[in-house]
Amino acid sequence: MTALQKTALTLLALAAAACSASALSPSGSGAAAVAGPATREGQAKSKKTKVPANEKSAQDEYEKGAIALRYGLTDEAIRYGEQALAFFPGHFNALALLGSAYYTNGDYARSAAAYDEAAALKPDSAEIQRNLGLALFELKETEKAEAALKKAYAANGDAEAAFNLGKICFTEKRFDEALDYAVKSIQKDGKSARAYNLKGVILNQLGRYLEAAGSFQAGLVLAPDDIGLQINLGIAYLNANEPAKAKTVFEAVLPKIQEQVLRDQVENYLKSIKDAGK
């Protein structure tokens, strides 16, 4: 099961006294992620021995729940998952299903509990450890979240785990570690625009503005219409004392922005560039 990965499009505070622009939140590249269909992890190979009736009934209920979750019917998925556990407590797929459904519903405590039980059954499952980490992160249990995500990354170099470890390190101002994880995420999945966004945000925070601009540009190759990446690119140019390039980027993206808060921010950047040129 792949837990819903949330993203945000919010500007961090601008240090007005220093006239230095700050980058977008590293949570993502600006587009909210959508929960994918439920998937079975590690489907059991066919056995010659007869499957006990209660285990078969549990599997049947799980399969109904997986279909329900695929179509966004999270409450139905939860009902089927609970029924599966009633037939066969400790049914791994049912626990993973419940973890995903509860996460999608925003019930992170129950999601973490389900994933924790699943992790006890299969501690080497990178997917379960990653999703447990994501649920714990939403609960602000950062240390536990980081531990679970590190297990996921250690299992198979999971790109999503590395990305979220980078986010955690960034929020805790461990910028060198954050950058290392962002790079590892890109090395594993070079087609992730939000990983390039995260890398750029971290580089911006480290004062490596032109490198940050390069990372945002790489992200825009993958997601050319991403407004968050475009704004971040303009901010990086502004911080790098390249006002002409920043102006070009901001003027191009401004008509595409619908959120008034972001429009106001970009208009303020353009005004500051204009005032500085007087």
pLDDT in tens, the chain (278 residues): 433 333 222 233 222 222 333 334 454 433 223 233 334 344 444 344 555 668 899 999 999 999 999 999 999 999 999 999 999 999 999 999 999 999 999 999 999 999 999 999 999 999 999 999 999 999 999 999 999 999 999 999 999 999 999 999 999 999 999 999 999 999 999 999 999 999 999 999 999 999 999 999 999 999 999 999 999 999 999 999 999 999 999 999 999 999 999 999 999 999 999 998 85
For 97, other C-beta atoms within 10 Å of its C-beta total 32
Q: What is the model's pLDDT at position 53?
A: 66
Domain count for the chain, please give it: 1
Q: In this predicted structure, what is the pLDDT of residue 20?
A: 34
Residue 86 domain-assigned (yes or no): yes
Q: Which amino acid is at 227?
A: I
pLDDT of residue 83: 96
| pLDDT score, position 177 | 98
Q: What is the pLDDT of residue 36?
A: 35
Burial level of 161, CB count in 10 A (0-12/13-18/19+)? buried
Residue of 234, 233, 219 whose CA lies nearest to 267: 234
Global pTM reads: 0.78
Instruction: Give the span between the Cα atoms of 224 and 78, in whole angstroms.
Output: 38
Beta bridge partners of 11: 24
Note the pLDDT of residue 15. 27
SS3 258: coil
The answer for residues whose C-beta is within 8 angstroms of residue 265's C-beta and 6 or more apart is 11, 14, 231
Say which CATH number the domain at 75 has: 1.25.40.10
What end-to-end distance do the CA atoms of the chain give, in Å?
56
The predicted pLDDT at position 50 comes to 56
- At residue 21, the pLDDT reads 37
Burial of 47 (0-12, 13-18, 19+ CB in 10 A): exposed
Indicate whether 234 belongs to any domain: no
- Indicate the DSSP class of residue 152: H
Nearest CA to 213 among 240, 175, 241, 176? 240
Which backbone phi and psi does 20 adopt, to 5 degrees? -110, 125
Does residue 97 lie in a domain region? yes
Side-chain-side CA neighbours of residue 251 (13 Å): 9
Domain with 117 in it: 54-156
Q: What residue type is 31 in one-letter code?
A: A
Does 219 map to a domain?
Answer: no
